[in-house]
Amino acid sequence: MFRRDLRRIRFAFTSKMLWKRRMVFLLGAVAVGVASVVFAKVADGAQDFYVHTMAHTPWVFLILTPLGFGLFAWATTRWFDGAQGSGIPQAIAARRSGNPVHRARLLSAKVTIGKIALTCLGLAVGGSIGREGPTVQLGCAIMVAMAAFAGLGRANGLVLVGAAAGIAGAFNTPLAGVMFAIEEMAKSYDKRLTGLISAAVVISGMVSLALVGQYSYFGSIPSEAFASIGWGAVIFCAVVGGVGGAIFSRGLVAMSRARGRYLGPLKKRPFVFGAVCGLIIAVLAIATDGFAGGSGYGPTRDLLEQGVATPWWYAPIKLLTTLLSSASGIPGGLFSPSLSVGANIGAALAPFMPEMDIRALAMLGMVGYFAGVVQAPLTAFIIVMEMTNEVHLVVPLLATALLGAGVSRLLAPEPLYHALSFGYDPTPDDKAQAEALKTESTKPEENEPEDTKAAPPRV
């Protein structure tokens, strides 16, 4: 027994393959942390451009938004196929795939660079999108690229690790990164993988802290905001959030699958469809003083930190523009806009429940709607807690998340990201290339005898 333990310990410290895997893992997690911070800074700059331009020359978006959406959707289809939308469905499809050509295409450097660049441009022209989903695809791509560079084989586990590190880096939410990988990506618990995920999140988080310091995504909320919590608000936010999340989910899946007499042919013309979506968003953004466009981060932070209420129509209009942005074919996530919609669902209840602080209602609405959209209640619960640095609403937030996800499942049985992921299954070209590679790898070498199994001649 002792000798066996000694051999195992010696192998752990002397195996070149194990050290190669550790270095890939370490350098990959560091790279994800750095890339997440850089992407966040550029995306924030693009969002600032939208806010500044909307405040001074709003009419320009009647040209910028439809033209930008049309060009970005066309460019994505033409040169960066696989970069459309959030990035999380692509990560799920890549992890599920046993086809190395398919996985490499979805997580290639070309697709990832296009995703990052076009997401930032989409924010600049007023798209109701976020950077969180694209950061997940970025994290997965970095991890898979590191594994390929080191000559490692299976990369499915690294896809999961990259996704967790991406979520943690995007929001500065390490626990949410771990839970997202387990609940949404893997849909199961694996002890060994969970340890790797946790380590990657820690490394990526340390890099983020070193570069930008400790911060809370939506700031800090004073504890007095949670002095009174009504369970009626929990039920309202969960039911309305669950129904709203199901409507969004079913609408996006239907539009992405392009069924119908009119939508199907229109989706085959990405420039036209993108431009139509962009024009509707531009008109709504100008009519609402910019609220309908952008990530929604600014109004949501003002609501949570200072209790600044938005108009009652904010949530339904923002839901619509997020749906159009996600379905248009341009790259961009939906975390930030969805959290913004949810926060304002809760805030709309404030006139009817004056005994509750509007900030507490906003948090309940945020977790209820987000859980309804993604149907991952524990991820929604943890991500809202970490992004607001709040621990006073643990039980109400968890109850709202669980009930909201349950209501959503009744109306939309297919979880959003997994339903969308089937649109990124292997193409016939992927299958043909994978088969050709497999055939090539099994061919005998030119200098190898034809019958390698033949016995050597006797001397």
Look at residue 430 and tell me whether its pLDDT is greater than 80.
no
CA angle 338, 341, 342 (to 5 degrees): 90
DSSP string, 41-97: HHHHHHHHHHHHHHHH-GGGHHHHHHHHHHHHHHHHHHH-TT--B-SHHHHHHHHH-
Q: Mean pLDDT throughout 410-420?
A: 93
Q: Mean pLDDT throughout 74-81?
A: 93
Global pTM reads 0.89
Q: Mean pLDDT throughout 442-450?
A: 55
pLDDT of residue 117: 96
> Is residue 439 classed exposed, middle or buried when 0-12, 13-18 and 19+ CB atoms within 10 A define those classes?
exposed
Taking only the tens place, the pLDDT of each residue in 191-236 is 667 777 888 888 888 888 888 877 778 877 776 666 677 888 999 9
DSSP string, 296-360: SHHHHHHHHHH--PPPTTHHHHHHHHHHHHHHTT-B-BSHHHHHHHHHHHHHTTGGG-TTS-HHH
Confidence of residue 458 (pLDDT cuts 50, 70, 90): very low
So what CATH class is 223-421? mainly alpha
Say which range, 129-133, 209-213, 250-254, has the weakest mean pLDDT.
209-213
Q: Mean pLDDT throughout 163-190?
A: 82
* Residues 173, 39 contacting (CB under 8 angstroms): no
pLDDT of residue 381: 94
Confidence of residue 417 (pLDDT cuts 50, 70, 90): very high
Look at residue 121 and tell me whether its pLDDT is greater than 90.
yes
Query: 21-212: what fold?
Result: Clc chloride channel (1.10.3080)
Domain boundaries, the chain: 21-212, 223-421
The whole-angstrom distance between residue 168's C-alpha and the CA centroid of its chain comes to 11
Look at residue 17 and tell me whether its pLDDT is greater than 90.
no
pLDDT of residue 457: 46
pLDDT of residue 205: 84
Say which range, 13-27, 90-104, 287-301, 368-382, has the weakest mean pLDDT.
13-27
Look at residue 60 and tell me whether its pLDDT is greater than 90.
yes
Mean pLDDT value across the chain: 86
Asked if the domains 21-212 and 223-421 are classified in one and the same CATH topology, the answer is yes
Nearest-angstrom CA–CA distance, 178 and 169: 12
pLDDT of residue 427: 78
Phi-psi region of 454 (alpha: psi -120 to 50; beta: other; left: phi over 0): beta
Confidence of residue 125 (pLDDT cuts 50, 70, 90): very high
Nearest-angstrom CA–CA distance, 384 and 364: 9
Look at residue 449 and tell me whether its pLDDT is greater than 60.
no
Q: Mean pLDDT throughout 355-382?
A: 93
Helices (H), 389-459: 394-411, 416-421, 428-442
Percent of the chain with pLDDT over 70: 86
pLDDT of residue 443: 62
Say which range, 302-311, 356-365, 440-449, has the weakest mean pLDDT.
440-449
Q: Mean pLDDT throughout 321-326?
A: 96
pLDDT of residue 388: 85
